[in-house]
A and B are shown apart, each in its own frame.
Chain A
């Protein structure tokens, strides 16, 4: 899962980034409205955390511009005023959720997860198949009562594939959603991680479509 965090307070951003990365997200940061708008339009984010009080371009205008161009990326609005008119304006501009400052990071993470699940048409807050259970808090996977610890990248990759099960996912697509902008994005690395995942959860879960990519599929489901 890759996030864009738009916030101009550098200290707050550094905390948020480290906490969100720990929670298993690839995080890009923009500290002004112009950059945020550009990034949101060019990178395939799974969710955006958008502060409204931004230099250069107000958050509300950025959101408006995205929705005007048909960019439906899920957006959580952060507001310092925490006023209803701001929420209503945000709703009209196309925001998906709101969080008043100050907030606990756990609250933000829970909202981001809920929003992403909702976007993937899930009502349950658990990611699991008949034989596979992903624990997001400790980043472990349980296969047939056997628990495996996952590395950050493995966790991000598996979660993304499970949320998009049944879809063909190219290596480029996967690397775009698993790594942030600054990471070295070598799509061959994806092959390495897929192999490691197969070692942990079994080979039949992730199928290779030659020349196209991978599909996550639980054959027992």
Chain B
């Protein structure tokens, strides 16, 4: 899925996790290194003290030994964790604390130093500092050892602590970041809501109060909407004017056929052709006037237009006493283009009122689009007729007398809206039932 929010979240989360890990690891490593170098410094100092008490000559048997000067008492205490070893070629002196522990000590030249980390007999971590010395012609190596187990334990506590801090920080930052991303994306959501309103006819343009990054897009969209609306109005006006200017002469032509100077065969030729032209103009101009889906012109206000249409029909068919009942479901308020819908419902109702015996029912409701049902208690149509009426590609204007042009334009409108027109027998009233379904304007791809 191509979602800005998701990719932002993924990028930010992974970089934050990486950052926090590096932070924790640096803290851990540097504390360890610092501790070690500190301990080694002390061990080096202790080594110098040890060297100062090594007595090489003067001994009776000539073997080296340690003077009786006091060192750090820890070196005297067995298994204290502080040890030293002085190694000669032929002899080894160890601190009393070392007992019989064996330390792997390298033999170093005078002036050489090594620092090593090793494990003791019990697996305890040891730091071993060793240095080579020479006195009175004899070389020896001094190694000072410290068990850093307690320090490591304390370091581990610190590491845990920093890890917890890092995780808490991570969680907090993720929260903040999520909030920031949400906030930014919400501004885009406003556009989505606007689009929905546009679709339902509750708005005529998108709000231009949007992030500057997409403002050009929204402005362009609005400009196109306005332009489209303008175009539609212009072309409808042009079509209307054309109709007006064509029908005047046509009327005169019709009138001329009533003149007594014209022979009856010419009369009928002129009259038939004039009528043919009239029908052509009528159907083509009606088609040309259709706005189609997704328009933003004046919308069809169901609650006010349906009663007006019914009132109009009662007036036109005033010699007939017709009971027109209508029922408008919830969520059906403003739908599609006003002129298109009036043409559609007007023609359906006109047919129904024309053919009914006294009752017409209109039902409009929402069913993933708009569903319009118009039924009457008139004579209805035979099954063969119904099949013929709804057949694909049937030009209704040629096929049915009476139902003629009206149903034809209804079909055109339904096609323009990619909807469906069904004609059937009315179960409730016994006459014809016309059902029109116009699907919702946009089918969500997601």
Contact, CB under 8 Å: B315 / A101: no
Interchain CA distance A105-B285 in the complex, whole Å: 24
Contact, CB under 8 Å: B308 / A92: yes
Contact, CB under 8 Å: B346 / A102: no
- Complex interface: stretch among A32-40, A78-86, A136-144, A170-178: A78-86
Contact, CB under 8 Å: B251 / A12: yes
Contact, CB under 8 Å: A85 / B339: yes
9 A-B residue pairs with Cβ-Cβ distance under 8 Å, sorted by A, are: A53-B241, A53-B244, A80-B243, A80-B247, A83-B343, A84-B339, A96-B315, A102-B251, A102-B278
Contact, CB under 8 Å: A91 / B308: yes
Number of contact residues on B: which range applies? 35 or more
Contact, CB under 8 Å: A84 / B255: no
Q: Which of A9, A82, A88 contacts B312 (CB 8 A)?
A: A88
Interchain CA distance A116-B219 in the complex, whole Å: 55
Q: Does B254 contact A (CB under 8 A)?
A: yes
Neighbouring A residues of B345 by C-beta, 8 Å: 84
In the complex, the chain B residue whose C-beta lies closest to that of A52 is: B244
Interchain CA distance A202-B373 in the complex, whole Å: 59
Contact, CB under 8 Å: A91 / B315: yes
Chain B interface secondary structure, helix, strand, loop or mixed?
helix
- A-B pairs with the 5 shortest C-beta distances? A84-B346, A102-B251, A80-B244, A91-B312, A101-B247
Whether A104 touches B244, Cβ cut-off 8 Å, given contacts A84-B343, A91-B312, is: no
Q: Does B71 contact A (CB under 8 A)?
A: no
Neighbouring B residues of A103 by C-beta, 8 Å: 251
What's the minimum C-beta distance from B317 to chain A, rounded to whole angstroms? 11
Neighbouring B residues of A25 by C-beta, 8 Å: none
Known: A12-B252, A15-B252, A84-B343. 4 other contacts (CB 8 A): A83-B289, A84-B339, A102-B253, A114-B319
In the complex, the chain B residue whose C-beta lies closest to that of A7 is: B248
Q: Does A31 contact B (CB under 8 A)?
A: no
Neighbouring A residues of B316 by C-beta, 8 Å: 97-98
- Bitwise, A90-113 to B at CB < 8 A (1) or not (0) is 011000111001111100000000
In the complex, the chain A residue whose C-beta lies closest to that of B244 is: A80
Q: Which residues of B contact A (CB under 8 A)?
A: 240-241, 243-244, 247-248, 250-255, 258, 274, 278, 282, 285-286, 289, 305, 308-309, 311-312, 315-316, 318-319, 338-339, 342-343, 345-347
Whether A9 touches B248, Cβ cut-off 8 Å, given contacts A81-B243, A88-B309, is: yes
Q: Which of A53, A97, A102 contacts B315 (CB 8 A)?
A: A97
Contact, CB under 8 Å: A87 / B346: yes
Q: Which of B251, B254, B343 contacts A85 (CB 8 A)?
A: B343
Interchain CA distance A55-B317 in the complex, whole Å: 31
Interchain CA distance A118-B244 in the complex, whole Å: 30
What's the minimum C-beta distance from A22 to chain B, rounded to whole angstroms? 12
Q: Does A186 contact B (CB under 8 A)?
A: no
In the complex, the chain A residue whose C-beta lies closest to that of B247 is: A101
Whether A81 touches B244, Cβ cut-off 8 Å, given contacts A97-B315, A97-B316, is: yes
Neighbouring A residues of B315 by C-beta, 8 Å: 91, 96-97
Neighbouring B residues of A91 by C-beta, 8 Å: 308, 311-312, 315
What's the minimum C-beta distance from B245 to chain A, rounded to whole angstroms? 8
In the complex, the chain A residue whose C-beta lies closest to that of B289 is: A83
Contact, CB under 8 Å: A87 / B312: yes
Interchain CA distance A83-B19 in the complex, whole Å: 70
Interchain CA distance A92-B316 in the complex, whole Å: 14
Interchain CA distance A179-B348 in the complex, whole Å: 43
Q: Does A199 contact B (CB under 8 A)?
A: no
Q: Which of B278, B311, B339 contacts A83 (CB 8 A)?
A: B339
In the complex, the chain B residue whose C-beta lies closest to that of A101 is: B247
Interchain CA distance A190-B312 in the complex, whole Å: 39
What's the minimum C-beta distance from B345 to chain A, rounded to whole angstroms? 8
Contact, CB under 8 Å: A88 / B346: yes
Q: Does A184 contact B (CB under 8 A)?
A: no
What's the minimum C-beta distance from A88 to chain B, rounded to whole angstroms? 5
What's the minimum C-beta distance from B342 to chain A, rounded to whole angstroms? 4
Q: Does A145 contact B (CB under 8 A)?
A: no
Interchain CA distance A123-B251 in the complex, whole Å: 30
In the complex, the chain A residue whose C-beta lies closest to that of B298 is: A85
What's the minimum C-beta distance from A47 to chain B, rounded to whole angstroms? 15
Interchain CA distance A88-B346 in the complex, whole Å: 9
What's the minimum C-beta distance from A183 to chain B, rounded to whole angstroms? 25
Contact, CB under 8 Å: A81 / B250: no
Contact, CB under 8 Å: A15 / B347: no
Q: Does A182 contact B (CB under 8 A)?
A: no
Contact, CB under 8 Å: A105 / B240: no
What's the minimum C-beta distance from A60 to chain B, rounded to whole angstroms? 13
